[in-house]
Amino acid sequence: MHRSVGWKRMEQDGLARPQRERLPLYERTRRFRSYSSALVPGLIQTRGYTEAVLRAVQRRRVEVDDVAEAVAARMERQRLLHEGDRRFSFLVEESVLRNGIGGADVLAGQLGHLLTVGSLPGVGLGVVPARADRSRMPVEGFWIFDAAQVNVELVSGYLTMTQPDEVAAYADTFAELEESAVYGENSRALIRAALGSLG
């Protein structure tokens, strides 16, 4: 089964409530997988990057300005990276490293953060290099919570999938993209190159 909630309904009273409401899902998840073809995933964003992202969202589609509260809620969620026996796997396309949302200073801070967050216990960070001969095409960004649920953000709304075959399809796609990614020193080299390109 999948369920779609339009942004207008989900964010009718601002961005903070949806951020807070997702916390229990993250708290009960033991294995979290995230693939992003557009932005750095929320759990590994810096405060400045989160503020730039949520401010852009608020300007595009939300009348209520509670960005500060929404940023605080997302930052609170990041404590889970340091608690318990959870495993986090993050995959980003190399283009994400050069997406200048928030400007050069914000992006530089975010890239510096990525250099350290990947070395946390229980956290894996892979970068899918931009290359002319890639065999796995990029797809929409998605989050997998254990084997129970997948979430996807669409232009029109927030999609939740819980059917085992749908969750499995995203898990298979994640595994395929993982094979195309680089890790450790190789991913850090791509991050440093993106940092260097900022001047």
3-state secondary structure 13-25: CCCHHHHHHCHHH
- In this predicted structure, the answer to whether residue 8 has a pLDDT above a threshold of 80 is no
Give the pair of three-digit tokens for residue 148: 């129970």
- In this predicted structure, the answer to whether residue 103 has a pLDDT above a threshold of 70 is yes
CA distance 155 to 13: 19
Each residue's pLDDT tens digit, 27-84: 999 999 999 999 999 999 999 999 999 999 898 888 888 899 999 999 999 999 998 8
1 pLDDT band, cuts 50/70/90, is low
- In this predicted structure, the answer to whether residue 10 has a pLDDT above a threshold of 80 is no
Distances (CA, A) of 171 to 22, 34, 74, 125: 20, 10, 24, 16
Q: How many domains does the chain have?
A: 1
CA distance 194 to 191: 5
User: Which range has the worst mean pLDDT, 93-102, 127-136, 185-194?
Assistant: 127-136
CA distance 36 to 31: 17
Each residue's pLDDT tens digit, 115-139: 999 889 999 999 999 988 888 888 9
CA distance 188 to 12: 40
Q: What mean pLDDT, rounded, does the chain reach?
A: 92
Cβ pair 180, 139 in contact under 8 A: no
CA geometry: angle 136, 139, 142, nearest 5 deg = 125
Cβ pair 42, 97 in contact under 8 A: no
pTM surpassing 0.95? Answer: no
pLDDT value of position 169: 97
Sheet architecture: strand order including 87-93: 2-6, 157-161, 149-153, 142-145, 31-36, 87-93, 123-128
Say how many C-beta atoms besides its own lie within 10 A of residue 28's C-beta: 10
Place of tokens 């070395």: 119
Q: Give the CATH number, domain containing residue 97.
A: 3.30.870
Determine the residue type at 129: P
Mean pLDDT of 82-94: 95
Q: Structural domain of residue 15, as residue ranges?
A: 2-196
Each residue's pLDDT tens digit, 158-175: 899 999 999 999 999 999
Task: Report the candidate in 189, 194, 198 with the shortest Cα–Cα distance to residue 40.
Answer: 194
